[in-house]
Structure 1
């Protein structure tokens, strides 16, 4: 297939002409990855941002879409990030077995990598997945260089990039923010609970049976919210996030059904399960699925006004099994889709924000899943809304060293 030079030229021109992407950021590199996939005629393409000793896939297209949000461990970055020429070929036996098998399953025998450097140091890796063995011709090498240079320019300008932090904020700095945020979030349910309890105590005889039941319902609901918030705060403040995990093979479909059945009635009414009849087992801690699903469904419902259903689906791809929570809510801007997993991040910050929460839920979801050698990502849903996707290693033997904690 010939390089689509015309489409490439027009696409880059349009990228700089669009106010959403001309200044860089995640939306810009995501568009570049999709444009590069088309121009090169390859089935998949991805961009991994490096931070600290590791990294994370922040943009992907085609057959590489499964990797969005996947963390790169230090030894993988060391293997994939070479010195010398910026473009180089990466063989499947040079990456971790999980990635190698996933790529082989979609017919990719090798990967062309472009190391993106800024000020003499690598900041990202651009990867194109080829289906035909051999080497890249000069035209494709030139396209990789053009794309990589464009990405590097965005990083040099610093507008919205990097999207990942190398390290979390210092604990001392976190402490003041922790107290400021949580003092408000804890006070809200406590105030409501006390108000309804005082009403029952002082006006019991004046209330009819329906009013009493409603007060008791609100007290119970707010108490549940308070308990969940306290659990999140304790986990986040101690840094353990999820306590002790016991990974093992388990039936993800059963875990999802049981977790959905245990949701509050107001959430269950909006839930729509579209699960397959069979699914490969997952490898992880089954007890965490209820917490993860509750957080994702609660988040979807909170940001989805109206009566549109929140949909849960599941599937298996290569050496992973996954489930998705889909909504038709307000969505997350593409350039913010990775920040939602930061501790204390809020979709609408400030005194006038419409939605409650301490900004810990998705942070703990990511911590929980990544400690099980899986990963989680958010992306816009076609037609509006958000897709939250959670992936775990397969539990039927098709797992790599990462499943035993070596990756």
Structure 2
């Protein structure tokens, strides 16, 4: 095997490290320092691209990316899957693996972008695993040399230090640092005897590592009829204490060991119900009051109103009715259970340019006046749900105006790469701080407490946009715009991406 490492630009590496040190020493940090660390990872390891994936309660998400992986910003990643957990917890701290081990969909997607292998290092803050730092490479036959591994391990340690300082990290509220229990994980040998039993597993099962290691795995495993591990299956089991757990397992690549991830089955969430009722009650009451007032005026004073007054009243009623309709749709989606990606067979190819053009025509006159549309003549077809694009665009444009002074101009653009079709709304509003780019997608979260009163809204718009997009196997991200403002971007799969990957 050859070491694919190219020459390292020492000036870029040490210059970047100096910038990070200065940010941390002055009390800053957060996402800007994290992003700079990912930039340095590309320079220090010779990788084509790098990314940091922050762990969450249910999955990971790319919160910083550079180089050939910059397109992945905001993308969800199933880092709890036992295949990846096994790779990260088995053997040395820095692990290397081909993209094929990420599964059929993930492997094909990355190969389609010219990436064939990854080097990864799990990041810990104290004893808490907070995420994984990865470098992606384009060659298929290379392997990570000592220099690449040492550089990645050092930079992973630097990210861990940033999380330990807690200056704007974790990115997600309730993220890994706020959830130190982590994910229960076990490593079994070929005879299903426990080799590794992490603290989270001990906490969930009330069985210490000393009592578990060396003993047979105590619960069922997802197995095929032939007795091998069924990596795509989940089995549920009720422990003696009455707690139901969900179990996934996969064979660790390059060994006969079995990686097992398991967790308590989630109950139907009820958090936020009172807040939901309070906020939505207010937001529903406002358009209903306006509609009723203008409708009563038209009924009771039709003869005394001139033509201009009648038209104005009808216009306001229509505008508020559309607002009410959108709000009801958002509320119904918010209480639904459609957060998981949908069946790919239910997604259909559609023309993004034609769909966006139609959606722009459906915006209010005020929104259309402040939106500069610059779309190409044509793009490859996207795969998804055409009807949802109008909702997504409306939310983006509404936010652009809501957080701008006097509705400054926003720009709508679109494009495509080998695997995805995308569109962006870039505004020149008050902008968004880096530490808020992920929190903005949380339910009920708004920019500032005061803004909830002055600008209205229930804090559901971007939350629902992310649900809608991820249901279509796409992803959405926010980032500060250079020079001020915010860029909101949606990426959907290309309808012909599979064919391109096979070419």
Normalised-by-shorter TM-score class: 0.7 to 0.9
**1:118 aligns to what?**
125
**1:186 aligns to what?**
284
SS in 2 for 1:171: coil
**1:293 aligns to what?**
393
Give, in angstroms, the shift of residue 97 of structure 1: 4.4
Give, in angstroms, the shift of residue 90 of structure 1: 2.1
- Contact map agreement 1:302 1:355 (CA 8 A) in 2: yes
Residue 206 to residue 366, structure 1, CA distance change in 2 (3 Å): same
Q: Structure 1 residues 239-248 or 3-12, which shifts more?
A: 239-248
1:89-120 deviations in Å (ceiling 9; x for gaps):
12122224454445445543322211112344
**1:144 aligns to what?**
152
Give, in angstroms, the shift of residue 16 of structure 1: 3.9
Counterpart-to-counterpart distance in 1, 2:468 and 2:94: 35
Q: Structure 1 residues 15-24 or 128-137, which shifts more?
A: 15-24
**2:36 aligns to what?**
31
Match of 2:56 among 39, 51, 64: 51
SS in 1 for 2:356: helix
**1:91 aligns to what?**
98
**1:331 aligns to what?**
431
Counterpart-to-counterpart distance in 2, 1:176 and 1:135: 54
Match of 1:8 among 10, 13, 17: 13
- Contact map agreement 1:241 1:364 (CA 8 A) in 2: no
Q: Structure 1 residues 321-330 or 38-47, which shifts more?
A: 38-47
Give, in angstroms, the shift of residue 131 of structure 1: 4.0
- Contact map agreement 2:469 2:492 (CA 8 A) in 1: yes
Match of 1:237 among 335, 338, 350: 335
Q: Give the RMSD, CA atoms, in angstroms.
A: 3.1
1:252-290 deviations in Å (ceiling 9; x for gaps):
222222222222222222223222222221111112112
Any gaps of 5 or more consecutive residues in structure 1? 402-407
Give, in angstroms, the shift of residue 149 of structure 1: 0.7
Residue 32 to residue 350, structure 1, CA distance change in 2 (3 Å): same
1:124-146 deviations in Å (ceiling 9; x for gaps):
11111234552333333222122
Residue 225 (str. 1) matches residue 323 (str. 2): yes
TM-score by length of 1: 0.87
Counterpart-to-counterpart distance in 2, 1:170 and 1:13: 47
Residue 23 to residue 284, structure 1, CA distance change in 2 (3 Å): same
Counterpart-to-counterpart distance in 1, 2:348 and 2:69: 27
- Contact map agreement 1:11 1:35 (CA 8 A) in 2: yes
Counterpart-to-counterpart distance in 2, 1:390 and 1:20: 36
Give, in angstroms, the shift of residue 159 of structure 1: 3.5
Counterpart-to-counterpart distance in 1, 2:135 and 2:453: 41
**1:279 aligns to what?**
379
**2:168 aligns to what?**
160
**1:404 aligns to what?**
none
**2:210 aligns to what?**
none
Residue 217 to residue 19, structure 1, CA distance change in 2 (3 Å): farther
- Would you say how many aligned residue pairs link Structure 1 and Structure 2? 401
Counterpart-to-counterpart distance in 1, 2:370 and 2:112: 36
Counterpart-to-counterpart distance in 2, 1:38 and 1:355: 43
**1:344 aligns to what?**
444
Q: Structure 1 residues 305-314 or 242-251, which shifts more?
A: 242-251
Give, in angstroms, the shift of residue 337 of structure 1: 0.4
Match of 1:248 among 336, 342, 348: 348
Q: Structure 1 residues 371-380 or 132-141, which shifts more?
A: 132-141
- Contact map agreement 1:3 1:140 (CA 8 A) in 2: no
Q: Structure 1 residues 85-94 or 368-377, which shifts more?
A: 85-94
TM-score by length of 2: 0.71
Counterpart-to-counterpart distance in 1, 2:451 and 2:131: 36
Counterpart-to-counterpart distance in 2, 1:326 and 1:251: 21
Counterpart-to-counterpart distance in 1, 2:86 and 2:496: 28
Which is bigger in relative contact order (C-alpha 8 A, separation at least 6)?
Answer: 1
SS in 2 for 1:291: helix
Counterpart-to-counterpart distance in 1, 2:326 and 2:24: 40
